[in-house]
Structure 1
């Protein structure tokens, strides 16, 4: 069986992050790699990835097809129409789905061999999308209902088509003024079998959801092991579940409190503290820095910093003493559902020495904050806040 993986989304809501969502590394593997690994575990062994033109050269490991324009899920499927035939699973490349859900979905495919199989989980306050309407004679999907939700069952992008060419024909004949051509085409097909699933599901739409995904990786995918090439000073303290990759160096009196992932060639400096975080390859957590409940992408450098509940994309530099605050004095939510959120630092952004970044503030790619400043408002890509 083949899977069509939708990985060409424009990602407007993930800004200021510039890495395409499926290509963001989590624990040494891209999100797309983890999606494919989980699909392989339920017997899907053939993959076609729909990508945007800018990512075509970055995906050498899998067959790809280009979606020339960011015209939604329907456009993604139609971009692959010339090479799709027969039984096909359609899934997002930036959704992390519990293997338990995938197993139940796979079992339903075997049970309803000649039917379209769709998947739902119970709705949560932090999720939006299509909902299933179970009230009529046939199952229907309502995308982003304007009024009351027709049920508690939220649709996942985890669909099985015994004959994908029939769905492609429905897509071609469907028109809508809303962004729901995919869902309308599903309704047009009819004969849908619904899998009501239970388990974790985490999409990646907003930058702070990188933190949610990081916690899922630490909880469900961490391999507590130390590579033989890692160098750990005898005075360093390692507590809890910690995965330490090749070439890691942990200096004197550093403390690592799991769950923690340390990617290849990561350096943890003297007296540094890392708690409940992902630190991707080639990042340096310098002397006396503290990283807590954060996502640190590859090639970042820290110098005596506090980094709490923050997302640091890649190639960033934090000057000595720079602090990323993560909690308001009044304890109010910074975004809905989060009263702790630090900074979102996009690729190659920089902080001078002794900079203070207020909770929930973001820096666009290559943004710079001069030494000693307090940053209370977000910076656009390339912006330089000077003394």
Structure 2
């Protein structure tokens, strides 16, 4: 049996993190979302087909040496149905289909028992998801798309079991109003002709669609790690809780590391740095003298050299922070931080810092207000307070007028 993972989407709600990488390549607990999925299924299937498109080179480079992984590029038409149809001439008789932007705890072995199946997950507020209605035998009888009045609290969890009949049904569907071919349209045809089992997922599941979903999933998986230290740890370093320090990482003198935390190879921490719980420092990062990082993901090759604070934030690759760069992460009124998502102002979580793209540079004494998004390739000049989102490729600076007055000669 084969597996098909849908990785072609642009991940608009996760911008600027997806400006230079596809959504499935965003790191959670030290490895891409897509790696988490492949780790779960690679022993169950013969081949893993990755449907790629947006920033496909990222995915291909990372998984090119995996013995079971093959790559198929989606054509001009977007949508999950078209993504599945891309594999028509390659895949076997029965196969799994998995959305490439979910993380989950449960095993998928139970899917192998059925010809047709959909994973469902119970949630408290299903309005923003595809709602699945089951009969008393757990067969799917209806799918509602983001209904105002949901008929159940079970949602489509983005994992499916099909045979080749699904290709015929996808080809019968019409392009949707948003210009996409939707897999759910084909499933609605399928449930009229076949028994499609609704399989309830146990344990953790997250549809990683917004920046705070990334941080939430990061916390969940960090809680599962066990201490493993193979990097260099200098004198007077304090390590508490479960911490992974990979070979090639260096923790300099008098630093404090509080787990759960992961520090990847090539990273340098300290001296006198403070790494607080739920932090991941990806490869070749640098957190320097008297800098503090808390509940954040710092991506590859980013430098936060000295006297800075980063809290509840996601910082892209190849960023460089000037001295005393600060991220605020909490409102005075303690209400959820508001964030711009696809043109709408939405509430997120109580604590959220900055969401930053790649290749951003800050000058000294730059501060970010909670929930601000900064696009890739920005420069932010000294002493700026950033209280709004910044598009990519922007230089932000302020002009202070200096007054020079000659002192009278006191002699």
Q: TM-score, normalised by structure 2?
A: 0.86
Map residues 43-54 of structure 1 onto 2, 5 A cutoff.
43-52=44-53, 54=55
1:92 corresponding residue in structure 2: 99
How far 1:141 sits from its partner (Å)? 4.1
Specify whether residues 67 and 360 from structure 1 end up closer, same or farther in structure 2 by C-alpha distance, changes over 3 A only: same
CA distance in structure 2 between the aligned counterparts of 1:180 and 1:127, rounded to whole angstroms: 22
Is 1:261 aligned to 2:265, yes or no? no
Specify whether residues 136 and 232 from structure 1 end up closer, same or farther in structure 2 by C-alpha distance, changes over 3 A only: closer
Q: How many residues align?
A: 374
Counterpart secondary structure, 2:98: strand
Choose from 203, 208, 212 the match for 1:208: 212
Specify whether residues 365 and 124 from structure 1 end up closer, same or farther in structure 2 by C-alpha distance, changes over 3 A only: farther
2:157 corresponding residue in structure 1: 156
How far 1:80 sits from its partner (Å)? 1.4
Conserved? CA contact 1:109–1:117, under 8 Å:
no
Choose from 337, 340, 359 the match for 2:351: 340
For residues 104-146 of structure 1, give each alpha carbon's deviation from its aligned partner in whole angstroms, at most 9, with x where no partner exists. Answer: x422432x3xx30111010244883211123699623424233
> Which stretch shifts more, 291-300 or 28-37?
28-37
What residue ranges of structure 2 are gaps of 5+ in the alignment?
Answer: 339-346, 399-411
Specify whether residues 263 and 70 from structure 1 end up closer, same or farther in structure 2 by C-alpha distance, changes over 3 A only: farther
CA distance in structure 1 between the aligned counterparts of 2:318 and 2:215, rounded to whole angstroms: 18
Is 1:324 aligned to 2:327, yes or no? yes
CA distance in structure 2 between the aligned counterparts of 1:188 and 1:128, rounded to whole angstroms: 22
Conserved? CA contact 1:119–1:158, under 8 Å:
yes
**Larger-gyration structure (1/2):** 2
For residues 179-213 of structure 1, give each alpha carbon's deviation from its aligned partner in whole angstroms, at most 9, with x where no partner exists. Answer: 67311211211211111222111122122322122
Specify whether residues 145 and 214 from structure 1 end up closer, same or farther in structure 2 by C-alpha distance, changes over 3 A only: closer
1:199 corresponding residue in structure 2: 203
Counterpart secondary structure, 1:156: strand
Conserved? CA contact 1:134–1:150, under 8 Å:
no
Conserved? CA contact 1:297–1:312, under 8 Å:
yes
Please give the root-mean-square deviation of Cα atoms over the aligned residues, in Å: 2.0
Specify whether residues 286 and 183 from structure 1 end up closer, same or farther in structure 2 by C-alpha distance, changes over 3 A only: same
Choose from 305, 308, 318 the match for 2:308: 305
Specify whether residues 247 and 70 from structure 1 end up closer, same or farther in structure 2 by C-alpha distance, changes over 3 A only: farther
What residue ranges of structure 1 are gaps of 5+ in the alignment?
Answer: none
How far 1:176 sits from its partner (Å)? 5.6
Specify whether residues 53 and 325 from structure 1 end up closer, same or farther in structure 2 by C-alpha distance, changes over 3 A only: closer
Conserved? CA contact 1:10–1:70, under 8 Å:
no
Is 1:170 aligned to 2:149, yes or no? no
CA distance in structure 2 between the aligned counterparts of 1:258 and 1:60, rounded to whole angstroms: 32
Specify whether residues 283 and 141 from structure 1 end up closer, same or farther in structure 2 by C-alpha distance, changes over 3 A only: farther
Specify whether residues 275 and 244 from structure 1 end up closer, same or farther in structure 2 by C-alpha distance, changes over 3 A only: same
Counterpart secondary structure, 2:223: helix
